[in-house]
Amino acid sequence: MPNKALIKNGLPVLIGVSVLLSLSMGIRQSLGIFMPPLTQEIDVSVSGFTLAIAVQSLSWGILQPFIGAWAVRHGFKSLLMMGAFTYICGLIILGTAQGGFAVFIGAGLIIGFALACTGSAIAMAVASRSSPPAMRSMILGVVSAAGSIGTLIAAPIGQVLSQTYGWRFGILGFVILLCIMIPAAWFAGRVDQLPMPASPINENNNAKEIALIALKYPPFLVMTIAYFVCGMQLVFITTHLPSYLEICGLDPMLSAKALGVIGGFNALGSLFFGWIGGKYNKLFILGMIYILRSIGIAIYFFSSPNPENTLIFAAFMGFLWLGVAPLVAGSISETFGVKWQAMLMGVSFMSHQLGSFIGAFGGGLLYDALGSYTLAWQIGVGVGLSAGITQLLFSLTKPTQTPTLATAQ
């Protein structure tokens, strides 16, 4: 299909998947604002709530490769619609919870499954298939940027409703917002009607063979391992920043403002890294992002928090937040094509979500044990610098093989 025709036919898909990702990620990244009032009202500890968020991340990551492979075989529309309805069900269970089990099921397992169907891996695969190769990196940046706008909207709405009427009404507000996901999923699902671009690898291989080819390819393997740190750092911040600010005696509304600032600057960062990823080495840029994030975390947590430096920290981290998504997605589509992109992003994303599990639950365990987040952020900085430097150095070396020549044997 010529580029102009692909852009015309793919535009409704791109709008739909942008709205879908915006709501899916925005609400997910804002759940931490409910931790302080929820743990005070019902019999759930900080580590109990963070366990649910950690299980959400883990189930999302474990399911993602299988969800991606399912989309290759059966199409995206039914998958996206199912994810939207499941997300709503998970929030309803969370909003009516009376104890830890319901929080674990609603915020953990069910929303984790919904995110595997509607999150960044699937959204990036849909966007890649809807984009001309020459414009793909930039378009992935635009869709990733849209994924950050949801935080800018959802976090303040949830915080205001929670402070005014209680945390259950805050979650009800999220349920109403999520209803918009249903028509967005329907439009995004029209990607199934677009032709499949040619792949640089053998399209007759099955999912297992493709995964083995990718995991034997050193650049993909290093990128996947480094992705672990990305998940650990980001989920630690979204889950524990509200609690940290409350401990420091700051206005609870500051956490919502910080998450909103993260969302706003995330959009700018995603656009920037989508653009620059089309011009320079994507893996080198990933390494720089991990290093800069780690430096930012160290500076913020080493200093005494106040409204000014909290918002500056949020802006800095927001700019570096989802910028990794178009870089990872673009690298995979360039190397392996778009047919199996959803599944291969799922393989890489599984590592990301293992890191998310550690960031959410590990941070809660360390806080409950030590009464402080100091050790948690120190670990995050240390492994972040290690991963960033490794990714940076490896990006400068030429791989000894190409995936087109690799075999699954």
Judged on CB neighbours under 10 Å (0-12, 13-18, 19+), 338 is buried
Q: Which range scores top for mean pLDDT: 44-58, 305-319, 363-377?
A: 305-319
β-partners of residue 43 are 99
Confidence band, pLDDT 50/70/90 cuts, at residue 407: very low
Tens digit of each residue's pLDDT (9 = 90 or more) over 80-127: 999 999 999 999 999 998 888 899 999 999 999 999 999 888 888 888
Task: Give the CA distances from residue 282 to residues 128, 146, 223, 396, in Å, rounded to whole numbers and listed in that order.
Answer: 16, 20, 10, 11
Nearest one of 299, 288, 197, 293 to 236, comparing CA atoms? 293
Within 303-362, where are the H helices? 307-319, 324-336, 341-357
Nearest one of 64, 349, 310, 342 to 230, comparing CA atoms? 349
Tens digit of each residue's pLDDT (9 = 90 or more) over 318-346: 898 778 888 888 888 888 877 778 888 88
Nearest one of 254, 253, 106, 242 to 174, comparing CA atoms? 106
Residue type, 24: S
CA distance 56 to 69: 20
Q: What pTM, to 2 d.p., does this model score?
A: 0.76
Q: What is the DSSP string of 38-99?
A: HHHHSB--HHHHHHHHHHHHHHHHHHHHHHHHHHHHH-SHHHHHHHHHHHHHHHHHHHT--B
CA distance 189 to 77: 4
pLDDT above 50 (res 224) = yes
- Specify whether the CB–CB gap between 236 and 54 falls below 8 A: no
Cα dihedral value 26, 27, 30, 32, nearest 10: -140
Within 248-323, where are the H helices? 252-277, 282-302, 307-319
- How high is the pLDDT of residue 404? 57
CA distance 316 to 297: 10
Chain-wide mean pLDDT for the chain? 83
* Percent of residues in the chain assigned helix, strand, coil, to nearest 5: 80, 0, 15
